[in-house]
């Protein structure tokens, strides 16, 4: 009985495998082999991730790209909303500018790491035929979604391991503070302004402002850095799918050209 069940399981598995291959090749309506298809998809991910990490890992890769530039955490939004009314803009704006520059520099440093590319390539090598079928027939970002599912946890650890220490070391421009200390000073300066403002308006509690009580700079910077990275990967994927010029290798031209 066990032998029969084992044989039946193997038979079903083989039928599914053969069906997947046939569906994958039929979806292309070409004479591409299943090996070529998977090779092309892997190549697309390698090109997309290499390009993305090179762009974001360069100086100003994050800072000067408005689509991925990392701003202050949501907790700091009251600072931007109220600093003019509190009369502290001239004091606090340099803190804001320096903090934003520093967290983006930390993100650029993380994207440039060889270990970031290694994490991507490790995930790419595990792609199966079934994965390939799902990606090839999926949306413009199907490969990116696949890759994010395979790599996010490791990348989070990788980026955090760089961003947190960078934000904790002294700034290079002569400021004897780390970025974390600078951000804390930014919050404290704002909270001092709120204290003065609320005291002035002590008889008008409806005008009182709340102080900021949380500080999540490193966690925020790491999360946003990864959001920006996967946004760039998705843009590269879409370009390879839609633009022949972006197909920079022969296998990319062969596989994705068959989809045009």
Q: Give pLDDT tens digits for 87-102.
A: 999 999 999 999 999 9
pLDDT in tens, 18-33: 344 454 445 444 566 7
A 10 A CB-CB count for 141 gives 19
A 10 A CB-CB count for 96 gives 20
Structure tokens at 82: 């109220």
**Rounded Cα–Cα distance for residues 162 and 200 (Å):** 44
pLDDT at residue number 202: 93
160, 218 contact by CB (below 8 A): yes
SS3 141: coil
* Half-sphere exposure at residue 141, Cβ-oriented, CA atoms within 13 angstroms: 9
pLDDT at residue number 8: 31
**Rounded Cα–Cα distance for residues 37 and 252 (Å):** 9
Annotated domain spans of the chain: 2-257
SS3 33: coil
pLDDT at residue number 241: 72
pLDDT at residue number 88: 94
Mean of all residue pLDDT scores within the chain: 82
Q: How far is CA 234 from CA 4, 51, 76, 111, 116, in A?
A: 46, 11, 29, 15, 16
Percent of the chain exceeding pLDDT 90 equals 57
pLDDT at residue number 51: 92
């Amino acid at each position: 009985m066990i032998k029969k069940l084992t044989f039946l399981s193997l038979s079903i598995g083989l039928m599914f495998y053969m069906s997947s291959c046939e569906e994958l090749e039929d979806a292309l309506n070409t004479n591409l082999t299943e090996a070529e298809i998977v090779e092309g998809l892997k190549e697309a991910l390698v090109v997309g991730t290499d390009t993305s990490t090179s762009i974001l890992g360069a100086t100003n890769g994050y800072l000067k790209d408005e689509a991925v530039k990392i701003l202050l955490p949501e907790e700091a939004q009251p600072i931007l909303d109220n600093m003019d009314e509190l009369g502290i803009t001239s004091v606090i704006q340099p803190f804001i500018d320096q903090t934003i520059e520093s967290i983006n520099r930390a993100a650029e440093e993380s994207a440039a790491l060889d270990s970031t590319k290694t994490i991507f390539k490790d995930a790419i090598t595990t792609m199966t035929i079934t994965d390939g079928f799902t990606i090839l027939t999926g949306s413009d970002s199907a490969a990116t979604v696949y890759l994010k599912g395979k790599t996010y946890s490791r990348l989070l650890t990788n980026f955090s391991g760089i961003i947190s220490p960078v934000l904790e070391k002294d700034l290079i421009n002569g400021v004897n503070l780390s970025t974390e200390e600078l951000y804390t000073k930014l919050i404290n300066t704002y909270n001092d302004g709120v204290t003065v403002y609320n005291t002035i308006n002590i008889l008008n509690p409806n005008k009182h402002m709340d102080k900021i009580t949380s500080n999540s700079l490193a966690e925020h910077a790491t999360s946003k850095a990864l959001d920006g990275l996967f946004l760039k990967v998705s843009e590269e994927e879409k370009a390879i799918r839609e633009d022949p010029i972006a197909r920079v290798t022969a296998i990319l031209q062969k596989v994705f050209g068959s989809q045009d």
